[in-house]
Structure 1
Amino acid sequence: MGQILLLPLLVVALLLGNAQAGEELPLFNAEGYRQEHYRSPTPEQAPGAVTVDTAALRQLLERQPDAVLIDVFRSTWRFGQFIEDQPHSNLPDSIWLANTGDGALAPDWERYFTRNLERLSQNRKDAPIVFYCRSDCWLGWNATRRAQAMGYTQLYWYRDGIDGWQQAGLPLHDATPEPFAAP
């Protein structure tokens, strides 16, 4: 009789253990970066940045042609290389720093982001930099916030991203991620 009662308790314990193991990460990590459900409604602003729509971005690019456009859309990374599992297009003259908008960056990815920002900004913390991804995408928000934490001061977040540009009838260009090479 005692064994019959223990069986349901064992099943309940296993189910509870599996539920805990399958839990999702919290939406934000301890540093405040979004780390789950990247394609979902975003806030109006990113910390330390000016949010721009398509018209404002076009004006910014006319006034400051040296502004750096950075696409942070994700790309599959396997076996030490980017795998093109689907074609990707982005705004003209953009640099694609794939996967740098993730909530948590491993040290190699952090160095990739830092090294490319330094190169693209010519080591100027006041260089105009525009981050984007797609509409309703937290990756651009995360990357903008990360650059602000690194001391960059002239940041812009193109919240509507590739989707907004395309909806305005503006051209997109085939893109490949910046190489992930050791320094």
Structure 2
Amino acid sequence: MPGVVIFAAVFSGALSPVSAWSEEGSAPAAIEGAVLLSAEELVATFEHHPRLVMIDARLTGDRRQGYIEGSVSLPNTETDCDSLARVLPGFDHPVVFYCNGPKCRRSYVAVKRARRCGYTRIYWFRGGFAEWKAKGYPYLNE
């Protein structure tokens, strides 16, 4: 899986589309049913779950600013049970969601939708791309 490459190199309610409010305010500190991860914990989680699917819940324009290698672009506005089923092999497959950072609610919305669809091994990288970049981890640009 492409996401493993970067880590090996570094560390040998409703399912309708969400409007612009998803970028305003701050995301909550936690989401029931999701394990909160820091950047370091995300790397460690990849070491324990090398098949972890990482979903970038940002819009395509945000992704042009950079993204974590191996992540799948699935904006929260397109996240529903069908789109999740296309990228996740089963309801118990580990998945992590991220977006721009603590002030971005897109990954929060995507996690809530995944839970409603029945996914059970959900991780949330609340610090998102902002934390990843601030801590000096490598990333890709389109």
TM-score using structure 2 length: 0.78
**What secondary structure does 2:23 align onto?**
coil
Query: Structure 1 residue 132 and structure 2 residue 132: aligned?
Result: no
Q: Of the two structures, which has the highest relative contact order with CA contacts closer than 8 Å and spacing of 6 or more?
A: 2
What is the CA–CA distance in structure 2 between the aligned matches of 1:164 and 1:71, rounded to whole Å?
A: 14
Q: Which amino acid aligns with 2:57?
A: V
Closer/same/farther in 2, CA of residues 63 and 97 from structure 1, 3 Å limit: same
Mapping for residues 15-94 of structure 1, pairs under 5 Å: 31=14, 35=19, 36=21, 38-75=23-60, 87-94=64-71
Kept after mapping to 1: 8 A contact 2:14/2:113: no
| Corresponding residue of 1:7 | none
1:27 matched residue in structure 2: none
Structure 1: gaps of 5 or more residues: 1-29, 76-83, 103-108, 176-183
Structure 2: which 5+ residue stretches go unaligned? Answer: 1-12
- Aligned CA RMSD, in angstroms, stands at 2.5
Partners of 1:68 and 1:56 in 2: CA distance: 15
Matched position secondary structure for 2:55: strand
Larger CA deviation: 164-173 vs 85-94: 85-94
SS at match of 1:57: helix
Q: Which residue of 1 aligns with 2:84?
A: 117
> Alpha-carbon deviation of 1:140?
0.3
Give the aligned partner of residue 148 of structure 1.
115
Q: Report the residue type matching 1:96 in the other structure.
A: S
Equivalenced residues, count: 127
CA distance in 2, matches of 1:32, 1:44: 22
**CA-CA distance at 1:86 after TM superposition:** 8.2
Q: 1:37 to 1:95 in 2, by over 3 A?
A: closer
SS at match of 1:156: strand
